[in-house]
Amino acid sequence: MEDIIAACCQFAIKPGDVDANMARVERALSELAQRDCRLAVLPEMWSCSFPYPILSEMAERTPGIVEKLRRIAVENRLVIAGSLPEADSGTIFNTNYVLDSTGEIAAKYRKVHLFSLYGEHLRFGKGEWAGVCSTSLGKIGVMICYDLRFPELARRMALEGAEVICVSALWPEARIKHWSLLLQARAVENQLFVLGCNGCGSEEKITWGGTSAIISPLGTVLSQAGPEEENILGALQAREMEEFRKMIPCFADRAPSVYVSYQHGETSEKS
């Protein structure tokens, strides 16, 4: 991975208003490109939030949105990641699209862990792939919101060569301390950079917590947003990751045979 400036575009998504949200993102990406940003992360379901009664209609707009993002990526030499509703064979997926600076779709990661507390498992199809992709900047892993609570997914991405994990989220203010803690944990335990882009503002009974952050492999908060709309930037220096991995060789010291044999409800004979 080369040294780059990366960013999170935190904003208040207008439910069901694709055009307004698209215009907001276009302005943000243009501004970030002028500040030499090379990687930009958007929130979860950033085109529309979760308007379930019209979710299929929202998903129909996604191909056009992706085409716009491809043009923006090329014009501004940006890699862009953010989740959108994706329709496929009658099923809607919460999908994180990664657009390379070449205009290619580097990945379409479908959310693996659906948040049952909010009924996502009743409305979305479940992904079956750990999202690691090759881009012009290096290997990037992508997650969506609730995925952050599952360390196994992040470790799988790290083992597959991810140097940065981008997390798109709509994480509520009520549990925002968990968000900040987990972003740092995923960065430190996998010795890589983590970019967490959250939404902000309120809709119905939920207030989204903002607090988007860019975390170094050492767990240092390189940049963090407050609770309102804000673009944050941070410098990702590959040397920091390489030196930390040499100093504390966690990957070389792993004991996979111990982990693989464990399943929920089992205990080892020595426990």
Catalytic residues: 44, 111, 145
Quickly list DSSP for the chain.
---EEEEEEE----TT-HHHHHHHHHHHHHHHHHTT--EEE--TTTTT---GGGHHHHHHHHHHHHHHHHHHHHHHT-EEEEEEEEEETTEEEEEEEEE-TTS-EEEEEEPSS--GGGTGGGTSPPP-S-EEEEETTEEEEEEEGGGGG-HHHHHHHHHTT-SEEEEEE--BGGGHHHHHHHHHHHHHHHTSEEEEEE-EEEETTEEEE---EEE-TT--EEEE--SSSEEEEEEE-HHHHHHHHHHS-TTTT--HHHHHT--TT---TT-
Q: Which residues contact 51 (CB under 8 A, 6 or more apart)?
A: 15, 16, 58
- Spatial separation of the C-alpha atoms in residues 34 and 18, rounded to whole Å: 25
Beta bridge partners of residue 6, listed in sequence order: 39, 234
